[in-house]
Amino acid sequence: MQKQKCVFLDRDGVLNYERGDYTYKLDEFEVLPGVPEALALLKENGYLLIVVTNQGGVAKGIYTKQDVLACHQKLQDSCGGIIDALYYAPSHPNYSESLSRKPDSLMLERAIAKYNIETTASWLVGDTQRDLDAATKAGVKSIFVGKPLQDKNYTFKAKDLWEAAQFILEREGK
């Protein structure tokens, strides 16, 4: 079986608006402008699209697994159903430990094994240091999107997912 290339995607702040608090209510879950187009462009160029998101509010009892799944369905519906997989870590360090939760990389490692992903040809797009740390642990390149954190030197950064998608394709020579 041939290895596949992938773009791993953090959810809140990359695919939908970051509310600063937990985003779990459907009426507050709003896909960012340009996201459907960016995902379609990556898909057209042969990338698997896999969401990897921490959802610690489940462990805290703020919202349920069903709330997470409903938001993921809304995301899929908004993007034409082209996301290949959605992984989430429901744990929170104050309540339950988990190697799935970023900055650990178990969500990525599971997807890499399941989908036969070539890590050197894959990327993670995230908006926090823990996203970038998970990418490094899993052996994939990363792009920081959003407003850079002070005193951080990112290897690659973009203002949003659309710009990150353009950058990935430029690096690939497309």
Query: pLDDT value at position 150?
Result: 62
Q: Select which of 10, 67, 104, 131 is catalytic.
A: 10
Q: Is residue 27 among the annotated active site residues?
A: no
| 75 conformational bin, left if phi > 0, alpha if psi -120 to 50, beta if neither | alpha
Q: What is the pLDDT of residues 54-83, one digit of tens each?
A: 999 999 999 999 999 999 999 999 999 999
Active site residue 10: yes
Catalytic hit among 12, 104, 127, 160: 12
Average pLDDT over residues 2-16: 96
Structure confidence at residue 149 (pLDDT): 66
Q: Reduced to 3 states, what is the DSSP secondary structure of residue 99?
A: coil
**Burial group, residue 61, by CB count within 10 angstroms (0-12, 13-18, 19+):** exposed
Distance of alpha carbon 159 from alpha carbon 145, whole angstroms: 5
Q: Please give the pLDDT value at position 1.
A: 74
Burial of 114 (0-12, 13-18, 19+ CB in 10 A): exposed
Domains of the chain as residue ranges with CATH: 6-172 (3.40.50.1000)
- pLDDT reported for residue 155: 80
Reply yes or no on whether the pLDDT at 161 is more than 90: yes
- In this model, does residue 4 exceed pLDDT 80? yes
